[in-house]
Amino acid sequence: MDAILVLEDGRSFRGRSFGALGERLGEVVFNTGMTGYQEVLSDPSYCGQLVVMTAPHIGNTGVNEFDLESPKPQVAGFIVRAHSENYSSWRAKSSLSQLLREHGIVAISEVDTRSLTRHIRAGGAMRGIISTEEDSIERLVQKTLTAPMMEGQDLTKAVTCNQAYPWGEGSNPWRPVTPEGKQNEYPYHVVAYDFGLKRTILRRLVDHGCRVTVVPANTSAQEALDLQPDGIFYSNGPGDPAAATYAAAKLGGLLGKVPIFGICLGHQLMGLAFGGKTFKLPFGHHGVNHPVRYIPTGHVEITSQNHGFAVDPDSLPADVEVTHLNLNDQTIEGLRHRTLPAFCVQYHPEAGPGPHDATYLFGQFVQMMNEERP
């Protein structure tokens, strides 16, 4: 069936539907990863967004159960150049199109994604709509203008868990954390705030000897401390960090009590809790090959990223140190408090997009928890 993508500035792209039928609105962003489309689809940080994949062939390895970063696809819509209904992988359980249809995700193929990506780079991320029902560009443009801008949106409540739960699966799913082995093999208890938490982050924490309790986004600081954690983790997630004022306030109540590690949205919220401000990037960082310099050593890490906001360096107080810097646009990629046990990074050290340059950050978190133990 025919489908159409229309941007709020009137630019349109016609193609073919390969997901669910209907219409979906969202912010249009592009991801430059050559692989990992299933992780992209299921990353809660993409909630409310229509994602463009710049790699031309999508779907040729199908979908499997282990690569899902959350229980279901989280994107508002999916845009690709060439979709492959035929797939080949020993892990695959179904086709990409079947997954999208099962979960009501509208998707469009046969789009000139190179032209679309260049358009977004020039004009910035903008609202758009994918439709299999309407053909009038004028009416579709009017619909995009009714959608809220990403600035000011708190989307964490749409993706967080409903109640606390334990997580015991590491990167090896055949070796779960057992109650008998928790105290000896997994001596550190981490309370992880779920603002749109990726499963791979939880697996990396387990890999580094942590027992994890995941809690909803609205969990108070005292409720988290009552769980007697050795450390607090602030997760990734969607939306505008400045709109999630409650999350930054809770973090303020945790600073100095136990070690804290934040990733992506957690990094931005920590920047706010430190007294800084955030701002919207023109088209964000979405991909798996972003170079980041670790300032203390000068080493360059190749990183996976997915965010549309950044921390303003001029807003940070003197007791906060910038530890990582993006080499493409010089935006902040990491912070550390000079006196309190708290640090964070903007990128995704758990992802390991080929290299595992940033895995050491989980080790730093464990070391910090060990040093802060009475």
Cα distance between the two ends of the chain: 64
| Of 284, 289, 283, nearest in space to 34 by CA | 289
Strand 260-263 and strand 210-216: the pairing is unpaired
Q: Which of 189, 228, 221, 183 is nearest to 205 (CA)?
A: 189
CB 150 within 8 A of CB 125: yes
Contact by Cβ (8 Å): 167, 193: no
The span from the CA of 344 to the CA of 241, in Å, is 14
Residue 282's Cβ-side half-sphere holds a number of Cα atoms within 13 Å equal to 10
Handedness of CA 70, 74, 80, 83 (dihedral sign): positive
What letter does residue 53 receive in the DSSP assignment?
A: E
Q: What positions carry a catalytic annotation?
A: 264, 348, 350
204: part of which helix (H) or strand (E)?
helix 199-207
**DSSP 3-state assignment of 364?**
helix
Beta bridge partners of 356: none
Rg of the chain over all Cα atoms, to the nearest angstrom: 20
Residues 6+ apart with CB under 8 A from 75: 26, 40, 41, 46, 47, 49, 50, 51, 105
CB 243 within 8 A of CB 154: yes
Residues 6 or more apart whose Cβ sits within 8 Å of residue 83: 16, 18, 58, 59, 96, 97, 107, 109
Instruction: Provide the pairing of β-strand 278-294 with 320-326.
Output: antiparallel
> Tokens for 90?
């020993």
- Please tell me the distance from the alpha carbon of residue 250 to that of residue 344, in angstroms, as a whole number: 16
